[in-house]
Structure formats: C-alpha cells, structure tokens
Amino acid sequence: MNTPQSPAQPPITLYTSAICAYCVAAKNFFKARGLEWNEVRIDQDPAERERMVERTGRTTVPQIFIGDTHVGGYDDMMALQRSGKLDPLLAGDGAAQG
C-alpha cells in the first residue's frame, strides 16, 4: 500500500520480504487500524536490504519505522502497543520508546 500519508500520521516504513508471516501480521495490524505505510521489499532489492541493515543493525524482517523512530520487529511493535506507547508514536508525539 504505497499511498500518501495523512498529515497527522508520521510515515510508516516496513522493510519486508515475500515469505514472512510477521510482515503480513504487521501489515494486517496497520490495515485494521486504517493506517497507511510504505513497504520496502528487501528480497527484491539488495541495496534496500543493505540500507535496512545499516539503519537497524538487524537482518530480520519486518523492520518497522514510524517517522524516524526505529520500532523494531513485529514483537517489538506489539510490546509498545501493550505498554500504551505505540499510539503516541503513531500520533506523531515523538519517540515513545523508553
């Protein structure tokens, strides 16, 4: 879903690959909440894979960014959700990790 972001929502970037259940789960989570995201398929673009590893220090997908904040993988995002820190991040209230 490569569509423009709403003004209030910081851009969401998902680094994904074709065969990745957690990538699908992350996309379903955002879709259920009516959020838009930019998907970067690292299995189709080795340069993007290198960029993801440089940005995150991780080689697994998904890697999720909300704005400039690296959320981590799907489990990391769900931990933020459970702790109540994901919604402020999605609302553009800055880094919610901590």
Alpha carbons within 13 A on the beta-carbon side of 61:
23
Q: Tell me: pLDDT of 14 over 50.
A: yes
pLDDT of 93: 78
Q: CATH classification of 12-90 is 3.40.50.300, yes or no?
A: no
- In this prediction, residue 91 has a pLDDT band, given cuts at 50, 70 and 90, of very high
pLDDT of 54: 97
Show the tokens assigned to 81: 């959700």
> 63-66 and 38-41 as β-strands: parallel, antiparallel, unpaired?
unpaired
CA dist., res. 42 & res. 30, Å (int):
19
DSSP state of 69: E
pLDDT of 9: 83
**pLDDT per residue over 53-86, tens digit each?**
999 999 999 999 999 999 999 999 999 999 999 9
pLDDT of 94: 61
pTM of the model: 0.86
